[in-house]
Structure 1
Amino acid sequence: MAITRRGILIGALAGGGLAIGYALRPRHFPLPLEPGRDEYAFDAWIKIGSDGVVSVAVPQVEMGQGVTTLIPQIVAHELGADWRQVAVEPAPTSAIYANLVLAARWAPLWMPAFPKLAEEPDSVFTRRWAQDTRFNVTADGTALAAFETPAREAAASARAMLMQAAAARWGVAWEECRVQGGFVMHEGKRLPFGTLASEAVGFSPPDPPPLDPQPMSEDPGDFVPGLQLAFPRLDLPSKVDGTWTFAGDVRIPGMVHAAIRHAPLGRAEVIGYKQDAAKGLRGFDRFVQHGPWLAAVARDWWTADTALSRAAPRYRVSGAADSGQADTALDAAMQQGEAHRIFAYGDMEQVKGGLPLQIRYEIAPAVHATIETASATARIEGGRLELWVGTQAPEATRKAAAQALGMSVADIVLYPMPIGGSFDRRLELDHAVEAALIAREVGKPVQLTWSRRQEQAAGLPRTPAVAVMAARTDAEGNPVGWRARIAAPPTAHEFGRRLFDGDTPQEAIRAVVGESDAMAVDGAIPPYRIANVAVDHVPARIDLPTARMRGNAHGYTAFFTESFIDELAHKAEREPLSFRMAMLGQNPRLAECLQRVAALAEWGGGGDNSGQGIACHMIGEGRIAVVASARRDENGVRVEKLSAVADIGRIVNFDIARQQIEGGLIFGLGLTLGSSTRYTDGRPDTDGLGDLALPSLADSPEIDVAFIASDAEPADPGELGVAAVAPAVANALYSATGYRFRRLPLFAEEL
C-alpha cells in the first residue's frame, strides 16, 4: 500500500496522539441557507416564504434517481406541508450535509491504514473526517440512509416552531395544535405557514424534535395505475417541457465554447498538432494544449470540434490500455496470483485445493453510455473561479480545480447542476478541471462539452474480471463447500486515489498494485446456507484504468454466483427454484422474493426449452428476484420478458421505487447483451452508442415489477435492479438452448 500524507495524518489520529483533542473539539457550522426576500430559514434544510412556499435544500445531485422529490417528500410529510407548495433547491456545500453513511462505506479508500476505525457512520473518525472534508458525495444509493433522519428532524423542529408561533397568537399550548396541508390548526382556527414564518423563526424548537411516529411510507398495494400520485416528481414537468437546466444548457454573457481531444488511455501526452489548421474557420479563437489533451475554443461548439478534427493532434503514449494485455494479466492472476481472503466461514479445509466442480466465468469491460456527455462551464473573474457542472462529488471537484489552477479552495464557487444519467461516471472530475484550465488560458467564460466519441474514449470503464467458482457437494447435490476466486484490478482503490489524492489514472494504477480490494468482490458472498464458504480477491495489474459503475461489483458477482448455483442445480437434476429455496431458511425475505416472482412470471420450472431463467441477489438490506424469458433467433438473443419482485423495506415513494427497479433492469440488460468494448493501443474499438448493442425501445422486453410490503428500514432500489438480470438471462438461455453462457456480455456471435 502506497503511503500518503493523508494516510499518515489519519494514522496519527488512530494512534491516539491527537484523537482526544480531535474528538472533543467543538463543532459549530454556520447556517448554510441564505433566505431570499420574504423568506425565512429554519435550519440547514428548510426555508418558508411569506407566500407559504416551503423550499427544501437537497444535498445530493439529481441524476434521475428522484432525490429531489424524495427528500422534499420526507420534509413535507413531517412538516405537514401542502405538496403543491413545496419547492426544491440544491444545498450549498457545507459540513452539515456530510454523507456519513457513504464515508463509512468508503473508509478503506480515505483511511486505508485503519479502515475499521471508521466503518460505522457514528464513528468519531467518520464524522470528523466527513465534516472536515465536506464529504457530500452522491453514490451507492445512500440518500435515504444518510439524510432521511436529519431531514425529518429539521422538519419536526420547524413544525414545532410554527405551532409555537400560532399558539402564541391564540394563547394556547402549542402541543394542542396540529398541522395539515400547510396550516397550523386549533379548534376551528387555522393559520397558514406563510403567515407564521416570520414569527416562528424566533422560537426555539424542543430537543429532541417531536418526530411523527409514522415516517413517510407508501404501501405498494395502494398504488393504482392511472390515478393521480400523492407525491408526483418535482422535476418531471420541467423535464417534459424542456426547461430543466443541465450543465450544457448554461449560458452566461461573453461565453465561448470548447471541444476537446484526449490522448489514448495510458501514460500519454500531446506532442504536436497542425497549428494553422483552423485558419479560415469563422469564429475560431485558439487551441489550448495541456498534457494529455488538446482543446479548441470558438464561438460555437461545432466550429471548435471542426478545428480539432483539422488539427489532427499527435500523441506520445506508453503503457497504452489494451484488451489483449488485460486478458493476459487476468489469466496470470487467476492461475498464479496471490489471493487475499475477503470472507471465510466454516471449515477452510473444505474449500482448499482442487474442488470437484470448478467453472470459469469472464466479464468484459463495460462503458457507462450516459445520455448526457460531460459538460462544464467555467468563469474566472476577480481571482475567483465559478464552475457550473454536474458532479457527484462537488467538494472534491472544487479541490481538484483549485489544485490545477494554484488557487485556494475558498476561491472556487461551484453551482451543482443536475446530471442527465451518470451511473457513477460523474464521480470523475476530469471535465471540470479541463474547463477551468481552458478558461484561465482564454480569459473568457468557457463551456466545455465532450463529444460522444470523447465520452466513450476517455471515460473510464467498469473493470474486466475473471472468476473461478468451485464447490464440493453432498450426495443430494447441495454445496457443502464454496469458493469464489475472483481476479480483478483493485478498482475501488484506484478510484479512491483519483478522488482523494488527486492521482492521474496511471498514477493510481501504479499506487495500488497488488492491493486487496474487498469492494472488487462486493456481493460475492452467497445468500444461501452453505456450511463452508471462502471468497478470494486476486488483484490483477492491467494497463486499463477502471472506474465505478451503477451496481459496481454486484453487477458481475451476482452473475458468478447465480450462474454457478444454477449449474449446481442442473448437475444435481434439481429444479432451480426449489434448489435455491432449500438453502434460504435463514433468509426468509429473499425466499419470499423468489416465491413471489415465480408466481408473477408463471414459472414453469426452467426445464428444457422453456426459455425461463431465475436469479436472486442482495445489496445491503435490499433483496430482489428476477425471472427472465428469453429465446434466440437469427438476430441473436431476444429477451421477451423480465419479471422482478423486490423487498426494499419501507417504501418512501412507490412510483420512484418502481422507476428505479425498472431502469435498473434495463441497465442490467444493457450490461448483459452489450455496453462493452475492447481496447487497442489505448483506444476503444467502438465509437458511439450505436456500437454498444444497447437495448432499443423495440428490443426492450415486457417488464413486470412487484414489491413486498415491509416495515424494515428503506434500502436503495437504484442499484438493486441491475445485478440479477444477467444471470437470469443466461440461465434462461440455457433452458432454451442447452448451452451455458459464462461470459458477459452475451455476444450474438456466441450463439
Structure 2
Amino acid sequence: MPLTRRGLLTGAAIGGGVVVAWALFPRSYPDVLEPGRGEYAFDAWLKIAEDGVVTVAVPQLEMGQGITTVLPQVVAAELGADWRQIAVEPAPVSGSYANVPLAARWAPLWMPFAAGLAEEPDGLVAQRFAEGRRFSATADGMSLAAFEGPCRNAAAAARAMLAQAAADRWNVSWEECEAQAGFIVHGDKRLRFAELAQEASTYDPPDPPPLRSEPHGEDPLPGQIEGAGDYPRLDLPSKVDGSFMFAGDVRLPGMVFAAIRHGPVDKATLVEFNQFSTQGIRGIVGAVKGNRWLAVAATNWWAAERALDTMKARFNVEFLADSDDFEARIDDALRKGEAHRIEERGGGYDSGGNASLALRYDVEPGVHAPLETASATARFEGGRLELWVATQAPESARIAAARALGIAVEDVVLYPMPAGGSFDSRLEHDHVIEVAMIARELGRPVQLTWSRWQELLRSRPRQPASLLVTAQIGKDGQGRIEGLKTRIATPPANMEFGQRLFDNKASWAAIRDSEGAADALACEGAMPVYDIPRVAVDHVPVEIGLPCSRMRGNAHGYTAFAIESFIDEVATRHGREPLSFRISMLGQDVRMAACLQRVARLAEWDGGQDQSGKGIACHRIGDAETGGRIACIASARAGDGGVRVTRLSAIVDIGRIVNLDIARQQIEGGLVFGLAMAMGASARYRSGLPVAQRLSDLNLPALTDCPEIEVEFMASEAPPADPGELGAVVAAPAIANALYSATGLRLRRLPLLSGGL
C-alpha cells in the first residue's frame, strides 16, 4: 500500500518481531511500528523509508493541542531530519508507549490505598503499572514529560546508526559525522538518510544513545511579532482544506449509521418504545435495545435520528439529578461536613471561628462541549472487533468493549483517530461500548454519532463546587495574610472517574464506592503561589448523585477563581493596589513576579482604578521548579447583554518552549475557553435532564464576542510545562476582578452574572 501523510495520520500498525523501548527497561514488546515496503524500523518510535520519509509514532490523541507536531518535532530536531519529510503514524496501544508520569500522578485513582508507593514520576511501581496496563492516556498535559525523553533517545540512536553506516563507507570515525537536514555529513561528503536507511537499520545502536548537548527549544519572539517557524504544524494544511480525517469521517464498505437515545441522569432503564412507528421512514436497517439506551441504524444518520423521535423511548429512573438538590447537599457539606486535610504549609491554619475574613465562592458544573460530538465506528466479524475511535485512554476503551461483548481484549483492535476537540471528554468510553454492541447485533459495520443533545445529556461535567476561603490578616493595616484556609465542598469526582476508567464500573457504582473519599486532585491549585506562612487545604466530599468527570483545567478552574478573587478582595479592603499587593506576597517565586510586572506593561495596567474595568489574576500549575505560570489582565464590562470582555493580555512562563506557535495557540485557545467558562458553559439539571440542549443554550462566546488577545512568553531555561490549561483557568478570575473594577460589584459565582447583577 502506498504511504501518504494522510494515510499515516489515519492508520494503525499491527506487526511482529521484538523491539526494546528506550527508557522502559528491562522489558521488550511486540514491534508495533511495522515497516511497510521500502521502510526500515529503527525502534518503536521511528522508521525511515527509501524515499527519505521519516515516520514518527505518536501514542497520544491529537485533539487540537498539536501533539502530532510536537513529538515529531522533538524527533526531527534530535535526528537532524528535514521537517518536510516527516510523517506521523498514530501508535497502537503497547507497553512501549507507557505514560509513566501520568500513571504516577493518577496513582490515587488506580491504587487508592497505597498511592504513595507509586507517586514518583520515574518510580518502578508506576512504571510497572503503566507498562502492564499499556497505559498511554492523553491527559493533564503530561505528553512531553512522558515522551520527550524516549523520543530523543530513539532519534539519537537512529542518528548514530545512520552515521555508522556512512562512516563505514567513508572509512572514517562515525563520531566525526554530523546529521543535518536529512543528510549525514563529513567534511564535503554527504549521504541522504534515504541512501543509508536499509544498511543503518542493521547496526546496533550505542548505549546510551549520544544525545545532543541541549534539548530542542524555540526562543520567544518579542511582542506580537509572528515569524514563520521551522516546524509548522503537520496537520494544518489538511485541516484547512478539509481532508483531515476525524472519527466521524471513517467510511467502511456496507457501513450503516446509528443514532441513539439515553435516559435521564442517572441509572435510567429503558422500559418501552414504539417499535412500529418508523414505518414510512426510508433507509431504516434495524434497532438495538440496550439496558439503558435505544439505538436505530439506517443508511443515513438523519433517518436514524428521525426514527428515534417517532419511537418515543421511555425510561425508569431511580434517581433524577437536580441542581437545586445537589446545591443544597453541597451547601450542607460546606457548612457541616467532615473535612479531609489535603495539604498544608507551616503547620496549617484553622481560624477557630476568629478569621479576619471569610468569603464563599460557588461554581456550577462545567460542560466540555467539544465541536465533534462522540463518534465511533465498529466492525464485528468472526469474534473479532475493530474500532475506529478518538479516545484519550485507548486501552481502557478496548477493555470496556471486550467486556461488553464477552470477548478477549486481544480480539479488540483499536485504530486511533484524531478528535475534533475533547477537553477531556474522550477519557470516557460509553459510546465505544454502545457501538460495539450495535455492530454485534446488526452484523455489519456501523458508525454511531451522538447528537448534540445526547452529548450534553450523556457526557459527565466537571463537578460543581463551593469554596470557603478564610484568612487571618495582620493588624498593620497592609492586608498581610498570615493564615489561609480553603475548604472545598465537592464530590470526589476523580475517585469516581478512576473507578470508571480502571475498574470499568458503572457511574452509580463508582459514586457509591467513592462516597466520603478524600480527593486530592479535586483540590489542585488551592495551595496558593503566594508565600503565606500558614496555609491549609481541606476537602469535604459530598455525594450529589450527578456523575462527574475531568475537564480542561480540572480543579484549577475553580480554585484559581476563588483564590485570585479572594486576594483581590483583600487588597481592595485594605486599600492596596492589586498588582503590588500580589508581588509583595510572592516570596521566592521570581518567575511569577516577572510575569506580573511584564503583563502590567503589556496591558498598560492602571490599578483598576476609576472604573477602568481592568482586572488582574495569576496562577501556577505545577510545582515551583517545573510548573507553568501565567499572569493575565482583562478589560471587561457588564451590560444588558451580559459580560463584554474587550481585551485579554497574558504573560506566560512555560520554561523551555518546544514549539512557539503551538504554545501561543494553546494559550489563546485556553483564554477563549476560560472566557466561555466565565460567561456560561455550565450545566443546570432539572428532573435528570440538562436545561441546555443545544450549543446556543450555553452562552458560549461567538466570534464577535472574542476580545483582542495579546500573549507574550518569558524566556526560560526551566523544564517545559504544558500551556494547554493555563489560559483556561486564569481568565475567569481576571474577568471577575475586571467587572468589580467596572461596576463595584463582586461576583463570587461561576458563571459570572448567572445570578444577575
TM above 0.5 = yes
The answer to whether structure 1 residue 325 and structure 2 residue 335 are counterparts is no
The answer to whether structure 1 residue 594 and structure 2 residue 596 are counterparts is yes
The answer to whether structure 1 residue 672 and structure 2 residue 672 are counterparts is no
Q: Is the 8 A contact 1:630 1:641 kept in 2?
A: yes
Query: Following superposition of structure 1 onto structure 2, how do residues 244-283 of structure 1 map, counting pairs within 5 Å?
Result: 244-283=244-283
Instruction: Tell me the CA shift for residue 748 of structure 1.
Output: 6.0
Aligned equivalent of 2:19: none
The answer to whether structure 1 residue 242 and structure 2 residue 248 are counterparts is no
Q: Deviations over 1:482-530 (max 9, x none)?
A: 0100100001001001001111111111110000000111000011111
Counterpart amino acid of residue 567 in structure 1: E
Q: Is the 8 A contact 1:527 1:618 kept in 2?
A: yes
The answer to whether structure 1 residue 230 and structure 2 residue 269 are counterparts is no
Aligned equivalent of 1:337: 337
Counterpart amino acid of residue 76 in structure 2: A
Q: Deviations over 1:166-207 (max 9, x none)?
A: 001111110111110100011211000001000001111111
Q: Which whole-Å CA distance do the structure 2 matches of 1:349 and 1:452 have between them?
A: 46
The answer to whether structure 1 residue 512 and structure 2 residue 541 are counterparts is no
Aligned equivalent of 2:692: 686
Q: Deviations over 1:27-57 (max 9, x none)?
A: 2222221000000000010100000000000
Unaligned runs of 5+ in 2: 1-23
Aligned equivalent of 2:296: 296
The answer to whether structure 1 residue 485 and structure 2 residue 491 are counterparts is no
Instruction: Tell me the CA shift for residue 353 of structure 1.
Output: 3.1
**Is the alpha carbon distance of 1:224 and 1:156 closer, same or farther for their aligned partners in structure 2, counting shifts above 3 Å?**
farther
Q: Which whole-Å CA distance do the structure 1 matches of 2:642 and 2:442 have between them?
A: 51
Q: Is the 8 A contact 2:349 2:483 kept in 1?
A: no
The answer to whether structure 1 residue 534 and structure 2 residue 540 are counterparts is no
**Is the alpha carbon distance of 1:222 and 1:583 closer, same or farther for their aligned partners in structure 2, counting shifts above 3 Å?**
closer
Q: Is the 8 A contact 1:351 1:534 kept in 2?
A: no
Counterpart amino acid of residue 454 in structure 1: Q
Counterpart amino acid of residue 717 in structure 2: D
Instruction: Tell me the CA shift for residue 747 of structure 1.
Output: 2.7
Aligned equivalent of 1:215: 215
Instruction: Tell me the CA shift for residue 579 of structure 1.
Output: 0.5
Aligned equivalent of 1:29: 29
Aligned equivalent of 2:741: 735
Q: Which whole-Å CA distance do the structure 1 matches of 2:173 and 2:639 have between them?
A: 73
Aligned equivalent of 1:710: 716
The answer to whether structure 1 residue 384 and structure 2 residue 390 are counterparts is no
Query: Following superposition of structure 1 onto structure 2, how do residues 471-482 of structure 1 map, counting pairs within 5 Å?
Result: 471-474=471-474, 475=476, 476-482=478-484
SS in 1 for 2:667: helix
Aligned equivalent of 1:650: 656
Match of 2:729 among 723, 727, 732: 723
Q: Which whole-Å CA distance do the structure 2 matches of 1:152 and 1:705 have between them?
A: 29
Aligned equivalent of 1:169: 169
Q: Which whole-Å CA distance do the structure 1 matches of 2:356 and 2:630 have between them?
A: 30
Instruction: Tell me the CA shift for residue 347 of structure 1.
Output: 4.3
Q: Which whole-Å CA distance do the structure 2 matches of 1:388 and 1:477 have between them?
A: 57
Instruction: Tell me the CA shift for residue 224 of structure 1.
Output: 7.7
Unaligned runs of 5+ in 1: 1-23
**Is the alpha carbon distance of 1:321 and 1:688 closer, same or farther for their aligned partners in structure 2, counting shifts above 3 Å?**
same
Aligned equivalent of 2:424: 424
Aligned equivalent of 1:452: 452
Q: Deviations over 1:142-186 (max 9, x none)?
A: 111100010000000000000000001111110111110100011
Aligned equivalent of 2:134: 134
Aligned equivalent of 1:750: 756
Q: Is the 8 A contact 1:357 1:470 kept in 2?
A: yes
Instruction: Tell me the CA shift for residue 749 of structure 1.
Output: 5.7
Instruction: Tell me the CA shift for residue 233 of structure 1.
Output: 0.1
Instruction: Tell me the CA shift for residue 81 of structure 1.
Output: 0.3
Q: Which whole-Å CA distance do the structure 2 matches of 1:502 and 1:181 have between them?
A: 47
Q: Which whole-Å CA distance do the structure 1 matches of 2:25 and 2:166 have between them?
A: 38
Q: Which moved more, 1:503-512 or 1:413-422?
A: 503-512
The answer to whether structure 1 residue 699 and structure 2 residue 705 are counterparts is yes
**Is the alpha carbon distance of 1:677 and 1:26 closer, same or farther for their aligned partners in structure 2, counting shifts above 3 Å?**
closer
**Is the alpha carbon distance of 1:510 and 1:749 closer, same or farther for their aligned partners in structure 2, counting shifts above 3 Å?**
closer
Q: Which whole-Å CA distance do the structure 1 matches of 2:285 and 2:187 have between them?
A: 70
Q: Which whole-Å CA distance do the structure 1 matches of 2:305 and 2:361 have between them?
A: 41
Q: Deviations over 1:83-131 (max 9, x none)?
A: 0111111012110100001000000000111000000122111111110
Instruction: Tell me the CA shift for residue 226 of structure 1.
Output: 5.4
Q: Is the 8 A contact 2:224 2:710 kept in 1?
A: no
Q: Which moved more, 1:279-288 or 1:549-558?
A: 279-288
Query: Following superposition of structure 1 onto structure 2, how do residues 301-312 of structure 1 map, counting pairs within 5 Å?
Result: 301-312=301-312
Q: Which whole-Å CA distance do the structure 1 matches of 2:555 and 2:485 have between them?
A: 17
Q: Which whole-Å CA distance do the structure 1 matches of 2:610 and 2:736 have between them?
A: 14
**Is the alpha carbon distance of 1:172 and 1:555 closer, same or farther for their aligned partners in structure 2, counting shifts above 3 Å?**
same
Counterpart amino acid of residue 299 in structure 2: R
Q: Deviations over 1:644-684 (max 9, x none)?
A: 00100000000000000000000011001100121011100
The answer to whether structure 1 residue 616 and structure 2 residue 618 are counterparts is yes
The answer to whether structure 1 residue 606 and structure 2 residue 612 are counterparts is no
Alignment root-mean-square deviation, CA: 1.3
Q: Which whole-Å CA distance do the structure 1 matches of 2:697 and 2:92 have between them?
A: 39
Aligned equivalent of 2:21: none
Q: Which whole-Å CA distance do the structure 1 matches of 2:365 and 2:390 have between them?
A: 24
Q: Is the 8 A contact 1:636 1:748 kept in 2?
A: no
SS in 2 for 1:87: strand
Q: Which whole-Å CA distance do the structure 2 matches of 1:130 and 1:625 have between them?
A: 35
The answer to whether structure 1 residue 370 and structure 2 residue 370 are counterparts is yes
Query: Following superposition of structure 1 onto structure 2, how do residues 14-53 of structure 1 map, counting pairs within 5 Å?
Result: 27-53=27-53
**Is the alpha carbon distance of 1:358 and 1:227 closer, same or farther for their aligned partners in structure 2, counting shifts above 3 Å?**
closer
Q: Is the 8 A contact 1:608 1:738 kept in 2?
A: no
Q: Is the 8 A contact 1:320 1:681 kept in 2?
A: yes
Q: Is the 8 A contact 1:636 1:749 kept in 2?
A: no
Q: Which whole-Å CA distance do the structure 2 matches of 1:453 and 1:406 have between them?
A: 30
Instruction: Tell me the CA shift for residue 607 of structure 1.
Output: 1.7
Counterpart amino acid of residue 546 in structure 1: C
The answer to whether structure 1 residue 145 and structure 2 residue 151 are counterparts is no
SS in 2 for 1:568: helix
SS in 1 for 2:581: helix
**Is the alpha carbon distance of 1:314 and 1:643 closer, same or farther for their aligned partners in structure 2, counting shifts above 3 Å?**
same
Q: Is the 8 A contact 2:654 2:720 kept in 1?
A: yes
Aligned equivalent of 1:638: 644
Instruction: Tell me the CA shift for residue 349 of structure 1.
Output: 5.9
Q: Is the 8 A contact 2:349 2:536 kept in 1?
A: no
**Is the alpha carbon distance of 1:448 and 1:352 closer, same or farther for their aligned partners in structure 2, counting shifts above 3 Å?**
same
Instruction: Tell me the CA shift for residue 352 of structure 1.
Output: 3.4
**Is the alpha carbon distance of 1:583 and 1:95 closer, same or farther for their aligned partners in structure 2, counting shifts above 3 Å?**
same
Q: Which whole-Å CA distance do the structure 2 matches of 1:86 and 1:352 have between them?
A: 62
Counterpart amino acid of residue 269 in structure 2: E
Instruction: Tell me the CA shift for residue 26 of structure 1.
Output: 5.3
Q: Is the 8 A contact 2:222 2:712 kept in 1?
A: no
Q: Is the 8 A contact 2:747 2:753 kept in 1?
A: no
**Is the alpha carbon distance of 1:348 and 1:86 closer, same or farther for their aligned partners in structure 2, counting shifts above 3 Å?**
closer
Counterpart amino acid of residue 642 in structure 1: L
Q: Which whole-Å CA distance do the structure 1 matches of 2:214 and 2:489 have between them?
A: 46
Aligned equivalent of 1:498: 500
- Would you say how many aligned residue pairs link Structure 1 and Structure 2? 728
Q: Which whole-Å CA distance do the structure 1 matches of 2:346 and 2:159 have between them?
A: 52
Q: Which whole-Å CA distance do the structure 2 matches of 1:673 and 1:499 have between them?
A: 31
Q: Is the 8 A contact 1:662 1:721 kept in 2?
A: yes
Q: Which whole-Å CA distance do the structure 2 matches of 1:242 and 1:349 have between them?
A: 56
